[in-house]
Amino acid sequence: MSKFIRFSTKLTLSIFATIFLFSCSKDADLLSEYVITTDDTRFENSLLINDSFYMAEGQTTILMDVLNNDNVSSNSNITIIETSSPINGIVTINDDNTLTYKIGTEEATPDETTPEEDSFTYTAEVVNEETGEQTEEQATVTISISDNGPVKAFPSAYGGGSNSTGGRGKVLAIINTLNVNQELTYYQKSDENDEYYVGGLYSALQNENVGYIIFNVSGNIELGQGGTENRFGSAGIPNVNQKTIFGQSAPLGGITLTGGAFRINGQNNSSNNLIIRYLRSRPIYNKTGQKSMEDDSYTWGFLFYGGYNVIIDHCSVSFAQDKAIGAYIHDNVDRIENFTFSHNFIQDSHTAAYIAINPGRPGNPEDKVNLISFNKNVIVGSNRTPNLSFNGLAEKVNNVIQSIPSKQSSIFMGLNLNEIGNYYSGDDSPNKILDYINVEYSYESPSVYTRENYFEKLLTGDLNEDNSVIWSLKDSHIPAPSNFFTNNPHIGFPNPIEPLTPQETYTELIQNGNVGAFKYLDNNGRINQFRDSFDTSQLEIVSKNLQYQTKSENNWTLPSIPSNMRPESYDTDMDGMSDSWELREFGSLNESYRGDYDGDGYENIEEYMNQVDN
């Protein structure tokens, strides 16, 4: 757009544009649906019109097209030339005449809570190309908070991490290579496309502008010796914030992470609002690159060293020398809060799942762990289902647990736990491999609400049974005393799950197979299914109630999966959504992936990917 050095006329008007941080809708993206103010709030001679934007609670960045609905004639050019400085954030003028507001300052990290109010002004220059007349106008943007509840991470999300915003409102990255170290290439917004990146997974996770990560390729992503350690150090990938990884976006075959540990480093509260769905992680090789079944105290399938507002859903994890999945911190600088692990298929690892603080850590980091949900997962042939030790709330609801070698859940400290509707089966169940309470480490007494669990040859799942019989003291068959149990469920979880009976749980997860990374979007944008050979065999073991030989070198073999690339015709406008689906849903390819076509709070790319929830 052209600019003139000399102004012939100048007109300055103060106009108010309000941005409400609603969590029921997030129309604050580039192609927002605007709520136009009524005529009595307009200025008669104003070229700028009041705007209202909506952003999900918990987001720290908003992209605003403040000029989209203004009274500017087609023969005029308009350019935003400057802004004032807000008190609680940073404003950037983008090349395409949009504004980006980010909570926080250059010196300070954004707080996880949005400020109650912030404001700034912007000045726009308008040039009539026919007359040469040039004007300036000024508008004020006010940011405030709504009381509405948040949009869930996805429709079927429940529990601790269910309100994670993921990458909502941020830029799309398209992974088009199995080379995890490939750098990203940036493509600016054009008349046909919103902005996007193309490249490898690591760069997408590290790029602060990227929010949505999709795959146009399927196959095995080799992490190399030690996994994430060989590039990022032992703690894992740092500063992974506000990201949604859509594993279901990959073509037939899906994505398997392999070759080493996958660890995300959330030290100093640097990782938050993460959604990871429909990925497989099968490390196989330990920290030194050896195929060993021994515990190396390092190799996890998915490890989160701290973090908050995280949900891991429909992932498949196996062949981890240390632990398959979970989270950990060792000091009180960090925290683990609002995590959900749901519909994951956890198999054949030294330890299945672990969200625990070792006793005796300085500063009592066990006080910084809270609202951990472990719901509707299937565990086969691995101990610790899961271990839970901290002073906050946890729930273990509607899981299927099969053929555990020697240890179920171990809990200690001041944990408040709901254990409801789980299905324990396998040849070892009659041998009374029970959950246990570790009194030695319980500085405060844990409190367990346990009800309607099925435990083979011990409990049937009946509502009136005494479920405390599946709990003992550590490494003994001494029944856990009654003072560790409560008759009232612990409350406080966001979007609380409605528990199924254990038999209903078994039907959903095993008979219907709603577990692990088994769905993907085909080239027509429709849901299809693919389950790799190891998941298939493990599902059969549970359905037939068979015993499984864990940590056998013969079993620790990476399943063969198809490796495919999306055809160019799949997504010609590079917005992460199948053209076929866009034409069915929108009637054109004109909608941005960050738009909200139906106004329900989920962005268009989320609607596309959330088909797996139907």
The domain that contains 483 carries what CATH number?
A: 2.160.20.10
> Do 466 and 457 meet the contact criterion of CB atoms below 8 Å apart?
no
Task: Give yes or no: residues 435 and 309 share one domain.
Answer: yes
- Say what the pLDDT of residue 139 is: 75
Neighbours of 128 (CB within 10 A): 15
C-alpha–C-alpha distance, residues 437 and 472, integer Å: 6
CA neighbor of 23 nearest in space, from 70, 51, 71, 62 = 62
Please indicate, yes or no, if residue 541 is contained in any of the structural domains: no
Domain boundary among 511, 529, 556: 511
563-596: per-residue pLDDT in tens?
A: 999 999 999 999 999 999 999 999 999 999 999 9
- Say what the pLDDT of residue 43 is: 31
Task: Give yes or no: residues 106 and 215 share one domain.
Answer: no
127-142: per-residue pLDDT in tens?
A: 888 887 888 877 777 6
Q: Say how many CA atoms lie within 13 Å of 36 toward its Cβ.
A: 10
Please indicate, yes or no, if residue 57 is contained in any of the structural domains: yes
Task: Give yes or no: residues 124 and 250 share one domain.
Answer: no
- First-to-last C-alpha distance (Å) of the chain: 45
Task: Give yes or no: residues 111 and 188 share one domain.
Answer: no
Degrees to nearest 5, angle at CA 537 with 535 and 539? 65
> Do 589 and 583 meet the contact criterion of CB atoms below 8 Å apart?
yes
- Say what the pLDDT of residue 65 is: 65
Task: Give yes or no: residues 137 and 199 share one domain.
Answer: no
Cβ neighbours for 136, distance < 8 A, ≥ 6 positions apart: 7, 10, 11, 12, 81, 123, 124, 125, 126
Domain boundary among 464, 489, 511: 511
Cβ neighbours for 388, distance < 8 A, ≥ 6 positions apart: 355, 356, 372, 374, 394, 396, 409, 410, 411, 415, 417
**What's the pTM?**
0.80
Neighbours of 581 (CB within 10 A): 18
- Say what the pLDDT of residue 474 is: 78
> Do 390 and 413 meet the contact criterion of CB atoms below 8 Å apart?
yes
C-alpha–C-alpha distance, residues 544 and 251, integer Å: 31
Per-position b or e across 183-202, b if 16+ CB within 10 A of its CB: ebeebebeeebbbbbbbbbb
Q: How many helices (H) and strands (E) does the chain have?
A: 6, 41
Task: Give yes or no: residues 178 and 319 share one domain.
Answer: yes
Task: Give yes or no: residues 97 and 180 share one domain.
Answer: no
Q: State phi, psi for 607 to the nearest 5 degrees.
A: -60, -45
CA neighbor of 571 nearest in space, from 199, 256, 174 = 174
- Say what the pLDDT of residue 227 is: 97
Q: Is 352 helix (H, G, I), strand (E, B) or coil?
A: strand
- Say what the pLDDT of residue 36 is: 28
Task: Give yes or no: residues 126 and 176 share one domain.
Answer: no
Please indicate, yes or no, if residue 301 is contained in any of the structural domains: yes
Q: Which residues pair with residue 424 across a beta bridge?
A: 401, 455
Task: Give yes or no: residues 106 and 175 share one domain.
Answer: no
CA neighbor of 94 nearest in space, from 10, 171, 8, 12 = 171
Please indicate, yes or no, if residue 416 is contained in any of the structural domains: yes
Residue numbers of the domain that contains 100? 14-145
Domain boundary among 511, 538, 560: 511
- Say what the pLDDT of residue 94 is: 82
- Say what the pLDDT of residue 33 is: 32
- Say what the pLDDT of residue 146 is: 47
Task: Give yes or no: residues 92 and 228 share one domain.
Answer: no
Helix or strand run (H / E) with residue 543: helix 533-543
Low-confidence residues of the chain: pLDDT under 50: 1-45, 49-50, 52, 54, 110, 112, 146-147, 430
Q: Is 292 helix (H, G, I), strand (E, B) or coil?
A: coil
DSSP-derived letter for residue 114 is: -
Please indicate, yes or no, if residue 139 is contained in any of the structural domains: yes
C-alpha–C-alpha distance, residues 137 and 399, integer Å: 60
Task: Give yes or no: residues 44 and 181 share one domain.
Answer: no
- Say what the pLDDT of residue 349 is: 96
Q: Using CA atoms in the order 559, 564, 570, 573, what is the torsion angle rounded to 10 degrees? A: 100
The stretches of 287-391 forming alpha helices (DSSP H) are none
CA neighbor of 135 nearest in space, from 65, 93, 79, 85 = 79
Task: Give yes or no: residues 128 and 175 share one domain.
Answer: no
Please indicate, yes or no, if residue 597 is contained in any of the structural domains: no
C-alpha–C-alpha distance, residues 450 and 485, integer Å: 8
Please indicate, yes or no, if residue 422 is contained in any of the structural domains: yes
Please indicate, yes or no, if residue 481 is contained in any of the structural domains: yes
Domain count, the chain: 2
